[in-house]
Every structure is written in structure tokens, then in C-alpha cells.
Amino acid sequence: MITLGNTIPDFEALSTGDKTVKLSDYRNKYLVLYFYPKDNTPGCTQEGQSFRDNIERFAALNTVIVGVSRDTVRVHEGFKCKQEFPFDLLSDADETLCQLFDVIKMKNMYGKQVRGIERSTFLIDPQGVLVREWRKVKVKDHCEEVLQALDELTGSRS
């Protein structure tokens, strides 16, 4: 499991765009890695749209956005296309990244306990160090919180 202030181990995951990406692909940029429960659900759609609608502000802060869920790349492709997301979505069907970032939790769904992704966001600096994390994310205003953290880290005003 990863902790604040430590370097994230390099990982590899299947991504939209028919590619495999590694954490090291994002060196020299900030990386917002956001974990969400499921494609095409209201909260997950709203969260992705918020990142999409602020993509230029993130780019001005040398920051890349990447979403992660357990959905397949095929499902991700449809979700990304439908929502016009300008960033990649990673498939973590085997839960490797979910385990690394400790985002799989027991949740109540319709009165039953189920294992699922706890909505979480991680901010990784250009050297691969985890510098901020948000767990149990509430979608409303979350994107602004991440941008504010980037402003503080970079000394910018987005």
C-alpha cells in the first residue's frame, strides 16, 4: 500500500486508446489518478465531466488526468466517447491498482454488503511521489479541491 510522501511503484495498466500505460509514462508532469466505482453511473459521470470541463486548467498546471475503475477497456471506450473525455481511463479488472492504493472497501448497496471502489483521488508529483490524497470523495466541488491543491504545490493561480 502507498503512503503520502513516498514514491509510487511503477505500474502498468490497460488503457483506452488500445494501449498499455505505465506510471513512468507520466514523469515530469503532475498526475491526478482518480478511482471511481463504475462507468455510466450518475456520480461517476459527473466526476469525469468535472475533470473534462477543467482540462485546460489542469494542463496549464502541467497536470494529466487519468481515471481508473474495474470496468473493461471496451466499456471504458464507450464511456469516454459518450462523455467526450479528453483523458485516458484505465481498466483495473484484476484490482491490482485498487489494492495498491487501498480503495476496495465493503459498501452497503440496497441493504447488502458488497466490495467496491471507494471514490478516491491521488495527486502524484512529477517525480512519482504521492503528494495529496482524497478518500471518500464527494463529487461536488472535488475538482476545485484538486485544482486548489495544485495551485498551492506549483505556486500558480489556475
Q: What is the set of active-site residues? A: 44
Q: List, in sequence order, the alpha helices (H) in the chain.
A: 42-53, 55-60, 73-83, 96-100, 142-154
CA distance 118 to 72: 18
CA distance 114 to 14: 25
Residue 52 in grid coordinates: 473534462
If DSSP codes are grouped into helix, strand and coil, which group holds residue 130? strand
Terminal-residue alpha carbon distance, the chain: 31
Buried-state track 83-121, b at ≥16 Cβ within 10 A, e below 16: bebebbbbbbeeeebbeebebbeeeeeeeeeeebbbbbb
For residue 41, the 8-state DSSP code is S
